[in-house]
Amino acid sequence: MTFRRGASLTTAVTFGHADTADLGPSTGNGFDHEWPEDLTLLQHLGVTDVRITLDWARLQPKPGALDTDWSERFEHILVTADAVGLRAWATLHDGSVPRWFDDEGGFGDTEAFVRWWPRWVERVADRFGDLVDGWVPFEILPADSSRPWRDTWGILGGTQPVVASFEGIVDLDRFGAERRIDRLGVTLIAEWEPDGDVPDALLEQAADRWGTLVRAAADQLDRRPIVVTGFRPGHNDQDMCGRIVETLVSTLDLAIDDGVEVEVVFVEPAIAGPTSGHGLLDRERNPTAITTTYLA
């Protein structure tokens, strides 16, 4: 048994941040008009799952109902993903938020959070719930995550799998005795200089760290399946990125041999962006060294 090969399509890389976002505007990688071909190409290469961010700033440029044009566009993307044989996992927050929400205090303001975040999740669930295979609501849950997770689970729980994604080992006691989590997600970080040498010894240390995190995540939910919600090689040399991803695959295979059930891994970016480094595909949609080692 092995894991499904996924790829991430995040806001910053695909569309770029909207001018209605707190971090916008920025340039994407052309996915906004090439997505039908991009999704088909990823599936043909061997990608099985995609993690797609439903961009809050575009879908709700102002408080209230979802934007009609962007709702239709995201619907078409999700329908196409299914049609070409890709499982789609939806992320609702991957760094940027609508400027109007940020102006009210964003996640740091309890009153703003309680007022607006659940309404956003409800609208997205109503509009797109039948079109996704799973939810990764937060790319990485905030440090004080019990309240946002409780509200999010109350809306999404009981339908498709809902993944609580963390960076590092966490104490799940904060979620209470019920631990309303379908899947525990972990983001694996590559810690080296992007232009520096990555000797074998450093790769081995990284592999040990990743293996420890994956096993800890599995143990925390009684060996239920886990999801690697994000992995970026973190290097500017394409061949080095291939070696790094090869090390990741070997590490996960060892964990699986030890009884850890890794359901799916999302490598990012699926397609390189203006400042995103190497992806499974470069900006011209050519396969890279990562593709060879990850999708072989």
- What average pLDDT does the segment 79-85 reach? 98
Which residues in 22-59 are b (16+ Cβ under 10 Å) and which e? Answer: bbbebebbbbeeebeebbbbbbebebbbbbbbbbbbbb
Class of 4-294 per CATH? Answer: alpha beta
- Residue 144 pLDDT more than 80? no
Task: Report the percent of the chain where pLDDT is more than 70.
Answer: 96
Contact in structure between 130 and 53 (CB atoms under 8 Å): no
List the end-to-end C-alpha distance of the chain, in Å, as a whole number: 15
CA–CA dist 293, 46 (Å, integer)? 12
pTM: 0.95
Q: What is the pLDDT of residues 158-168, one digit of tens each?
A: 889 999 998 88
Q: In the chain, where are the structural domains located? A: 4-294
Q: What is the pLDDT of residues 275-285, one digit of tens each?
A: 877 899 999 99
Task: Report the percent of the chain where pLDDT is more than 90.
Answer: 77
Q: What is the pLDDT of residues 19-72, one digit of tens each?
A: 999 998 999 999 999 999 999 999 999 999 999 999 999 999 999 999 999 999
Say how many residues make up the chain.
Answer: 296
Contact in structure between 155 and 121 (CB atoms under 8 Å): yes
pLDDT of residue 243: 96
Q: What is the pLDDT of residues 182-203, one digit of tens each?
A: 899 999 998 899 998 999 999 9
